[in-house]
Every structure is written in structure tokens, then in C-alpha cells.
């Protein structure tokens, strides 16, 4: 088991970052599922889970996303009270491997799916205390999911706009170059014709 984990770590450019990307969310899920084996206090389990989820939210938002996939998001509250989303991408020169990227996105979406399933079962059982904890976990998880998905879409939109501008510039340059060649050809042709006519007229006069 340990040897297998070491082999997987060799395929990661950021093994420690990947570890903490998965660590806090995994611990939160384990405490939720098995916490009642060790304590009957819902408050203790709730506090431990929320702390782990808060650590995970900060790690994913500020560390693992930037190092593993070159993306970062944050929001700013304007003077009028509106919220503006900001995105940052640094995918060029990214040292991450395909395994880093896979670990990041799976680790981002999988816990949200699991918390959603737990929420559905708690709702069926009318277990509203645990549902409060699950909603807290879902809100933190979904904030990162939405932030990174929008960040990725923003990068693709900027790349698409850049390619369209480059294509338009290239088409305009080719058109201008073509008109210049055509103009030069016409000038050369008319110039040659004028020269021939003048030469012919001189011969007839002689």
C-alpha cells in the first residue's frame, strides 16, 4: 500500500500540495461518518467538521488551485454593495503533470457529490441537525467549485477572443498585402504599356 502511494507520488509535481488538497476534506468526511463512534456530542462533531472544512476551503482557494492547475479566484465587494468576481490564470509554464490536474479536479468535485448524497439521506430521515452541517459543507465546497469553473471558462473565453482577434488581424493583413500586390501589378502593367506606345510612336515618326 505504501509502495503504491509512493509510485503515485512520483507522478505528481506537487505531492505535498496534492496531499493537503485531499487531506482536510477527507478528514471532514470521516469525522461526519464515524464521529459518533467516538463521541455522542453533535456539537463537538460539528465544530471539528466546520474547522476542517474551513481549512480545506482556504487551502483549495489560495494554494492548491494556483499550484496544481494555475488558476485562482476571489471576490471583491464594491462600494455599492455588489460583488465582483476576479480570476487569475497562469497556465503557461505550469509545472504540473496530468496527474496533478486530475487529482485537483476530482478532489474538487467528488466531496461535493458525497455531501449532496448525505444531504439527501438526512432530508429523507428528517435529521435537520446533521442537515445543517451538510449545508455548511456544501456551501464551502460549491463556492470553490463555482469559482474554479468560472475561472476556467474565463480563461477559455479570453483565449477564444485572442484567437479571433489574431485571425482577424491576419485576414486584414493578407487583404492589405493582396491589394498592395494588385496595385503594384497594375502600375507595372500600365507603365509598360505607356512605354511601348511611346516607343512605337517614335518609330513611325522617323
Q: What string of DSSP letters covers 1-17?
A: -HHHHHHHHHT-S-HHH
The domain tally of the chain equals 1
Q: Domain for residue 158, yes or no? A: yes
Tens of pLDDT, residue by residue over 18-61, are: 999 999 999 999 999 998 898 888 999 999 999 999 999 999 99
Q: Domain for residue 184, yes or no? A: no
Q: pTM for this structure?
A: 0.71
**Contact 74/86 with Cβ under 8 angstroms?**
yes
Q: Domain for residue 65, yes or no? A: yes
Q: Which of 79, 62, 70 is nearest to 13 (CA)?
A: 70
pLDDT, position 81: 79
**Contact 149/112 with Cβ under 8 angstroms?**
no
Coil/strand/helix, residue 90: coil
Range of the structural domain that residue 6 is part of: 2-168
Amino acid at each position: 500500500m505504501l509502495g503504491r502511494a509512493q509510485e503515485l507520488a512520483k507522478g505528481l509535481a506537487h505531492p505535498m500540495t496534492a496531499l493537503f488538497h485531499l487531506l482536510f476534506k477527507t478528514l471532514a468526511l470521516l469525522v461526519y461518518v464515524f464521529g459518533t463512534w467516538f463521541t455522542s456530542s453533535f456539537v463537538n462533531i460539528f465544530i471539528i467538521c466546520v474547522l476542517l472544512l474551513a481549512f480545506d476551503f482556504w487551502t483549495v482557494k489560495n494554494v492548491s488551485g494556483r499550484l496544481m492547475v494555475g488558476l485562482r479566484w476571489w471576490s471583491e465587494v464594491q462600494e455599492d454593495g455588489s460583488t465582483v468576481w476576479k480570476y487569475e490564470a497562469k497556465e503557461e509554464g505550469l509545472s504540473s503533470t496530468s496527474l496533478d490536474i486530475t487529482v485537483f479536479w476530482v478532489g474538487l468535485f467528488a466531496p461535493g457529490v458525497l455531501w449532496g448524497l448525505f444531504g439527501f439521506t438526512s432530508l429523507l430521515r428528517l435529521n435537520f441537525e446533521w442537515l445543517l452541517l451538510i449545508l455548511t459543507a456544501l456551501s464551502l465546497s460549491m463556492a470553490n467549485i463555482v469559482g474554479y469553473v468560472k475561472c476556467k471558462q474565463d480563461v477559455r473565453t479570453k483565449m477564444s477572443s485572442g484567437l479571433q482577434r489574431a485571425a482577424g488581424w491576419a485576414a486584414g493583413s493578407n487583404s492589405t498585402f493582396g491589394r498592395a500586390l494588385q496595385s503594384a501589378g497594375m502600375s507595372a502593367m500600365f507603365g509598360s504599356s505607356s512605354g511601348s506606345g511611346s516607343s512605337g510612336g517614335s518609330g513611325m515618326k522617323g
